[in-house]
């Protein structure tokens, strides 16, 4: 999709002219050493990509992604898990709630199928299908049926060639235009919750150097093992590298951002144990 759009006639280099913004995030390219998909880190990768574009350009922030689209070709789309039970438990990544999703998963009335998503049917083996004919329209190309290419998949009885899929996406985006004025947020208005979802999804993604939470978000820092929360007046970033956890002695590098609300007794033994157990349950989802 990324390569196709780079040479598409509907592409513009002027963001003020753009109706849609595409953010290429290769979440399905995160593989195990054996070459198997590794969807568990995909939410962290997606969140960090959104953090990057929201921190460097104004276009995400003015709609919180309502005029952006993302490709999520996982088994259960933006639920980012290959087991249905886990996917349903996780749900669609909250930061994508306002964006348009392009996915192959299309089961109706399912938690992992977002309303308004563009569903692309599965691709058949090329040797079993005859070339599809195209009819040019205002934006993209319309699809015609190909003899002998009917197949069941994701609640749709059609299979298409790779080139057809790209044009189907463009047609799907075109049908959503023009955008309703209600997608644009008022100054200072925020809808998305950057800390929603399993706590494990807030961990930094090694592919990005920036935090996964907006720069101006008042997050705290938590130590990985003891779950001690640093909540002192001095910003954590300004602490010397020799700083260590007062509970277990872990070095500064063992701390990570922590966003949930904190009470005064947050570092009492029983509270820390309960928090650690809850975080382990959350991370088990992914």
Distance CA 256, CA 254 (A): 7
- Overall fold of domain 218-285: Rubrerythrin, domain 2 (2.20.28)
Q: In tens digits, what is the pLDDT along the chain, a chain of 286 residues?
A: 788 888 788 888 888 888 999 988 888 776 666 766 677 788 888 888 898 888 888 899 999 999 999 998 888 888 988 889 988 988 999 999 999 999 988 888 899 999 899 988 655 444 444 433 333 333 333 333 333 333 333 333 343 444 567 778 888 899 999 999 999 999 888 899 888 888 777 776 655 544 444 434 445 788 878 888 887 778 888 889 899 998 888 999 888 876 555 566 667 788 778 877 776 666 565 4
Q: What is the pTM of this model?
A: 0.60
**What are the residue ranges spanned by the domains of the chain?**
2-183, 218-285
Distance CA 155, CA 57 (A): 38
């Amino acid at each position: 999709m990324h390569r196709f759009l780079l040479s598409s006639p509907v592409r513009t280099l002027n963001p003020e002219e753009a109706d849609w913004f595409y953010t290429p995030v290769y979440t399905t390219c995160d593989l195990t050493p054996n070459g198997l998909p590794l969807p568990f880190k995909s939410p962290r990768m997606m969140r960090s990509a959104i953090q990057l574009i929201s921190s460097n350009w104004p276009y995400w922030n003015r709609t919180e992604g309502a005029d952006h689209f993302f490709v999520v070709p996982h088994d259960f789309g933006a639920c980012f898990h290959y087991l249905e039970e886990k996917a349903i438990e996780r749900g669609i990544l909250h930061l994508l709630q306002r964006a348009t999703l392009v996915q192959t998963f299309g089961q109706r009335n399912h938690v992992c199928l977002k309303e308004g998503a563009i569903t692309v049917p599965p691709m058949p083996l090329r040797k079993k299908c005859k070339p599809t004919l195209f009819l040019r329209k205002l934006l993209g190309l319309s699809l015609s049926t190909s003899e002998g290419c009917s197949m069941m998949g994701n609640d749709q009885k059609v299979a298409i060639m790779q080139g057809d899929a790209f044009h189907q996406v463009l047609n799907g985006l075109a049908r959503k235009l023009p955008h309703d004025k209600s997608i644009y947020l008022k100054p200072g208005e925020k809808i998305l919750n950057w800390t929603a979802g399993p706590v494990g999804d807030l961990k930094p993604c090694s592919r990005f150097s920036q935090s996964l939470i907006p720069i101006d978000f008042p997050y705290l820092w938590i130590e990985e093992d003891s779950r001690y929360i640093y909540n002192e007046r001095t910003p954590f970033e300004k602490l010397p590298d020799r700083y260590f956890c007062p509970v277990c002695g872990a070095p500064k590098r063992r701390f990570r951002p922590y966003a949930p609300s904190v009470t005064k007794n947050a570092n009492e033994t029983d509270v820390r144990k309960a928090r650690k157990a809850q975080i382990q349950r959350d991370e088990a989802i992914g």
